[in-house]
Amino acid sequence: MDLSAVPLRRIEIHCGIEIHYVEAGTGSPLVFVHGGMGDWQSWAPQWPAFAPHFRCFSYSRRFSSPNRNRLDRKDHSVFAEADDLSALIDAWEAAPAILVGTSYGAYTALALALHAPDKVRALVLTEPPVLPFADRVSGGRAAREHFEREVLRPSDAAFASGQTELAIGILTGGINGADSQEAMSATGLAKRLRNSEAMRALALSDNAYPALDLRALAALKVPTLLMRGANTEAVHRATFESLAELMPRAETAEVRDAGHGVHRDNPGLFNEIVLHFLCEIGSNQAPWSPV
């Protein structure tokens, strides 16, 4: 099933926040949560592999296209995104749901699981950017400081001066690596520019990358798979290593031939690893074979 063939739907949460999403399939609910410059279409490489086995949802987070929500506050963070996801799961009657998230979407899924574990059946998290945790591992502080100095601060300044294209270019190269062919291509940059408001919301925020509760992380019993790309940037590697230490129950996987966008860079292997994990923990109700 092609994701583009699934009808796009609209729902309102929190008395006026509009969210667009797609839904298809039957079985255990599974929600895909895209990263900072993505939208509901980001999971096209996964849809044909997962929709036959699960009741799948892919949605555009609050400030991603085609949503038209007004950015009028300076405190937007992963906690607001987690509240949105919680409201969506309720509206879809999808609890407990399997959450498959990448980057800020993985951060969002993890924040929700810590706050409302009863709503989450399993977690698949690719490189959540919990930046404060980078400092906990060797070389992590230097990687975080470099990322903030060379990527976040210049992109924040570009957003503040109205140079949106410049901001997106800086973020794309800094997050994915300047040698990421898809991310840095004209098509890739156009996709990210379409969702620039989501990153502008973080650029204007006073707390875009908050720390998460350490005790809750250690105690989390939700089956969790932490994933990273073998070629990912140093800051993502540091946050991944820190989370792996802080979540002793979590399984980990490194995906070859992939950077930060693992599901996009090596979709076949990503799909195979995730489906195998879900099958092992009993969340896959349909027969499965490698894709």
- Residue 180 is predicted with a pLDDT of 67
pTM score of the predicted model: 0.95
How far, in Å, CA of 109 to CA of 165, rounded?
A: 28
pLDDT of 179: 67
Tens of pLDDT, residue by residue over 131-158, are: 999 999 999 999 999 999 999 999 999 9
Strands of the sheet containing 9-13, edge to edge, are 9-13, 17-24, 55-59, 29-33, 97-102, 120-126, 224-229, 251-255
In a domain, 41, yes or no: yes
Q: In 202-226, which positions are buried (b, 16+ CB within 10 angstroms) versus exposed (e)?
A: bbbbeebbeebeeeebeebebbbbb
Indicate whether 32 belongs to any domain: yes
The residue ranges of the chain whose pLDDT is under 70 are 179-184, 284-291
In a domain, 181, yes or no: no
241 lies in a domain?
A: yes
Is residue 221 situated within a structural domain?
yes
Q: How many domains does the chain have?
A: 1
Q: What is the pLDDT of residues 168-181, one digit of tens each?
A: 999 999 999 876 66
pLDDT value of position 121: 98
* Domain, as residue range, for 126: 3-137+210-280
* Tokens 């963070």 found at: 77
Residue 273 in domain: yes
CATH number at residue 219: 3.40.50.1820
* DSSP calls for 177-215: -TT-HHHHSHHHHHHHHHTHHHHHHHHT-S-SS----HH
> Considering the domain boundaries, does residue 176 fall inside one?
no
pLDDT value, residue 191: 86
Whether 254 contacts 260, CB under 8 Å: no
What is the per-residue pLDDT for 151? 97
User: Would residue 162 count as lying in a domain?
Assistant: no
Model pLDDT, residue 262: 97
